[in-house]
Structure 1
Amino acid sequence: MKKLFSILIMCTLVLGLFGCGNSKVKESTAAASNDKENLDITVSAAASLHEVLTEIQKKYEGKTEAKLSINFASSGSLQKQIEQGAPVDLFLSASKSKMDKLQEKDLIDVDTRVDLLKNSLVLIASKEYKDKIKQLSDIKNMDVKISIGEPESVPAGKYAKETMEHYKLWEPLKDKIVYGKTVKQVAQYVESGEAVAGIVYNTDVALLDKSYKIQTFDEKSHKPIVYPMAIVKNSKNKQGVKKFMKYLSSSEAHDMFVKFGFDPIKK
């Protein structure tokens, strides 16, 4: 009887240990799963950041095993998506005003907001017109089209309008404008010949094939072109996003931004 009793106790202990071990395995698996989820980051970024962020994405995912999902569009469109509750962790805007609107509605974590980059504005012209157009005012007396982004939703378009107004060329040129939904589309319109000239960011020039940079506008002709970033308030992974933001401010990321024509803002 004592022997049987001892066997029963041993079985109970073994089962208990197995249960505990199994529980620890489950806890460990759950923790690993949570860690995996914490690496997943959804980013909404201005269209002008497409090339450089695509390269940064590859580098960061390779270094950290993170998974970045990046949605590129005009800053205005992205702002509205966030206002409508789109599941976004990090917003990278090409306009301070778009970020300001989200801040006014308490949709971003203000403590995480930081200015990351600067850019400049340029006039480009098609190959056919690169010797005929030397500056923006030359277009005034030509029967041609010029493209800019939609000022209400595309930051580059807003800066372009400010520049045209600064040089008193908005009224003479406004009926010649072909509007683009993104700054990339503006460049495409010039490349395809739908417009003979366009106003884009300096960072878009490297991507041109059939058109050329003609003029770099004085930065006094428009508001500063600054790219702020901030964590969206409803983000479920703020710690993971902070790690990515730290990387975006690193020297390695800065080198990539410079490679694509951006001017990183040093902290």
Structure 2
Amino acid sequence: MRLIRLLLPLLAAATLGQAASAKAPLVFAAASLQESLNAVADAWAAQHHERPTISFAASSALAKQIDAGAPADIFISADEPWMDDVQKNGLVAPGTRVSFLANTLVLVAPAGSGGTIAIKPGFPLAKVLGDGKLAMADPDSVPAGKYGKAALTALGIWPQVQAKVVRGDSVRAALAFVERGEAPYGIVYATDAFASKKVRIVGVFPSKSHAPITYPIARLSAASSPDAEGFRRFVISKDGRAIFRKYGFLAHVPNAN
């Protein structure tokens, strides 16, 4: 009996610990948010909440997982179309979708390289690449790649460079190609370039060459964490947005509550 009495507090503590862990929201988030959203999650945890579990990947992959029934509580996409996809399937909790961040599309090169490139209609990217590759997130599905393809098409040079593209399954995979020296140039977000000491920005794509780069967040209709809505609101709060700004993100006026 004495052994049982000694074990009961331990069992109770373990049970409470499991219950607390179960309350932590599961967040599916675009790969480009890694450093910034982790910092936001740390700030949330510092307020005596359970730290969210965050799964980072391409928005396209995450949306497909949600559509297939993945048990996420919150989705943050790097573009509107993939959030549209989830929402049209009835998987977004009404009134919780907010577009709250913006970004810039840039051309990067290894940190030790020299020179800059003026990005304008007809600029000689194919010539500059030579026999090298252009690293991009998959232009057929991943937001950063789709923005990149749209920009190169609008500038009239996609036909000249498309055969030189090496595709990554996320924007961070495209960044890694340039970091490792496997591609002399890559198209990523400005925030990805800021997060890496191994690349530098050599050109900025005109904002009118592609659709606005916005990040929508939403609580999912199947959310089970009681903290999901609280964390969603913290992410889009003044304090949350201030953290994102430290990582180079631009503000986007919220379109919902």
- TM-score by length of structure 2 reads 0.85
What is the one-letter code of the residue matched to 2:202?
I
Please identify, of 195-204 and 206-215, the stretch whose mean Cα deviation from structure 2 is larger: 206-215
Q: Which amino acid aligns with 1:159?
A: Y
- What is the 5 A alignment of 1:100-249? 100-127=84-111, 129-131=113-115, 133-135=117-119, 137-141=123-127, 142-237=130-225, 239-249=226-236
Aligned ranges 1:52-91 → 2 under 5 Å = 52-91=36-75
Post-superposition Cα deviations, 1:6-45, rounded to whole Å, max 9, x if no partner, equal xxxxxxxxxxxxxxxxxxxxxxx9xx89984674211000
1:212-252 CA-to-partner distances (Å, cap 9, x unmatched) read 10111111100110100111111123x52111111112222
- Cα pair 2:21 2:50 within 8 Å, conserved: no
Q: Once the 2 structures are TM-superposed, how far is the Cα of residue 193 of structure 1 from its aligned partner?
A: 1.1
Contact 2:26 2:52 (8 Å CA) reproduced:
yes
* Alignment-mate amino acid for residue 256 of structure 1: I
Could you tell me how far apart the structure 2 residues matched to 1:36 and 1:193 are?
A: 44
Give the distance between the partners of 2:51 and 2:116, measured in 1 at CA. 48
Q: Which has the higher helix share?
A: 1
Summarize the Cα distance change of 1:206–1:262 in structure 2 as closer, same or farther, 3 Å threshold.
same
Q: 1:127 to 1:60 in 2, by over 3 A?
A: closer
Alignment length (residue pairs): 236
Consecutive unaligned residues of structure 2, counting only runs of 5 or more, are 1-12
Cα 1:62–1:156, aligned 2, differ >3 Å: closer, same or farther? Answer: same
**Corresponding residue SS for 2:25:** strand
State the Cα distance separating 1:122 from its structure 2 match: 0.5
Counterpart contact for 2:117–2:203, Cα < 8 Å:
no
Letter in structure 2 aligned against 1:155: P
Structure 1 residue runs of 5 or longer lacking an equivalent are 1-28
Deviations 1:94-142 (A, max 9, x none): 0100000111111111321111111110011124543275548332122
Kept in 2: contact 1:103–1:110 (CA 8 A): no
Give me the whole-angstrom Cα distance separating, in 2, the residues matched to 1:36 and 1:255: 28
Report % sequence identity. 34
1:258 aligns with 2:245: yes
Amino acid at match of 1:42: L
CA contact (8 A) 2:99 2:253 kept: no
In 1, distance between residues paired with 2:198 and 2:34?
20
Matched AA of 1:147: A
2-structure distance, mates of 1:219, 1:57: 30
Structure 1 or 2, whichever has the larger Rg, is 1
Distance 2:118 2:131 in 1: 16
Does the 8 Å contact 1:114/1:228 carry over to 2?
A: yes
Native 8 Å contact 1:40 1:66 kept in 2: yes
CA contact (8 A) 1:76 1:152 kept: no
Task: Note the C-alpha offset of 1:205.
Answer: 1.5
Between the two structures, name the one with larger relative contact order (CA 8 Å, sep ≥ 6): 2
Matched letter for residue 67 of structure 2: E
